[in-house]
Amino acid sequence: MQRLTVLRLVAAAGTLASLSGGCRRAPDFDEPFEDRSSGTLPELTAPKFANGTFRIDGQMDEPAWQRAGSTGMFVAPGTGRPVSSSKVNARARVAWEDQRLIVGVVVWDDTPSSPFGRDDVDPHVWARASGIEVMLKPGDRPDNRDYYELQVDVAGAVWDTHFDDYNQPVSGGPDDERKRFGHQEWVSGLERAVHVEAGRYVIELALPWSAFSNPASPAPPRAGDVWRANFYSFRDGQRDALAWSPILGQGNFHRSSRFGKLRFGGL
């Protein structure tokens, strides 16, 4: 998979003024930009809510979203610096319930696209669509074992898999179209909704805890538990891509030692 070894990352930080660029509408960013080039792992606390608090409709209009943990604006994966000129500036908010992990992502993409259908099975979202990626590693262990990857594009198509170790296993044919990455037979049972509006799109996700089976870090978590997680936005074959926690040249998007820390709060 080319994206696992060759990532043409946007690295230069611009200014908010550069976004005006003639007729392009100024984005309505609702979080401040933050430099994460120091290498310190970002952390957020996801508060717990009663079951059914969140409707997965792509709107993010429940008052509870204002209390959800926020990543702040994503940064360049290679440098950790803001990229105000990126076409995929984004931020995520995270919460949880007894039965589900809840994630809402806003991506300020003026022209998102996807060739896929919502019900396509494991399409290669990263290669051809505008979308987001969620990496989850139950527990706070230092190894790269037992982590999960989910991608959702602007059409609602899903690609999900489970890896035993860093980028492993990979099997199948010599090209991306025939390769299988991780255990693609794993089915997340992800509930998702996408809403596209002028200048941006919103993706809401609800991931059932029943999808996870990791004896070392059982799900659902308990209040106070920490998992490792990362969130990405991308388009154009990931030539334009941003991250919550930057990789800083230490491998690729799968390097769990560079995932941020997701702490589960209480009610």
- Enumerate the domain spans of the chain: 31-264
Model confidence at 256, in pLDDT bands (50, 70, 90)?
very high
Query: According to the model, what pLDDT value does residue 14 have?
Result: 34
- Does residue 71 surpass a pLDDT of 90? yes
What is the per-residue pLDDT for 174?
65
264 in Cβ contact with 48 (< 8 Å)? yes
175: confidence class by pLDDT, cuts 50, 70, 90: low
Residues belonging to the chain:
267
Strands 43-46 and 260-264 come out as parallel
Q: Could you tell me the pTM of the whole model?
A: 0.89
Other C-beta atoms within 10 Å of 207: how many?
23
Q: Which of 259, 253, 263 is nearest to 233 (CA)?
A: 253
**pLDDT score at 12:** 31
Phi-psi region of 19 (alpha: psi -120 to 50; beta: other; left: phi over 0): alpha
DSSP label of 139:
S
**Range name among 80-84, 87-91, 105-109, 217-221 with the lowest pLDDT average:** 217-221
Architecture category of domain 31-264 in CATH: Sandwich (2.60)
| pLDDT > 80? residue 5 | no
